[in-house]
Amino acid sequence: MKLHLVGQDTPVTAKLLVAADGYFSRVRQQCIDDGPPTWAGTCIWRATVAEEFAVTHGASDGSSLWYAGDYLSSLVFLVSGGQAVWVALAPGEHWEHAMHHSTVAHCA
């Protein structure tokens, strides 16, 4: 694959291009032009939080936490550098309810 980069006269040749430029990827648009993203019906939040926060809420080294509540599921797991990753999912039609009214229970 030849990549023509802005500001460079000579194209770059590569066997692999990793496009990590987000949901509305300009790289994807230019390479395969398959149109805008399609709504799949689920809202997903991802964040890094301090390890201390995750441990305070039950995570420990080598474990992860699953939570489930009214229209919401969530996963927390420890990563390196004193951080943890938090992921939450809710069906699109229930995201506001899930974020404001869920009674969350710990699932083993």
Tens place of pLDDT per residue across the chain (108 aa): 888 888 999 999 999 988 888 878 888 888 888 888 888 888 888 889 888 888 877 777 666 767 777 777 888 888 888 898 888 888 877 666 655 655 444 433
Using the structure block, give the residue that is written with the tokens 């809710």: 90
Q: How far apart are CA 48 and CA 33, in angstroms?
A: 31
Domain range list for the chain: 1-38, 42-107
pTM: 0.53
In this structure, are residues 74 and 104 in contact, taking their beta carbons and an 8 Å threshold?
A: yes
Handedness of CA 31, 34, 35, 38 (dihedral sign): negative
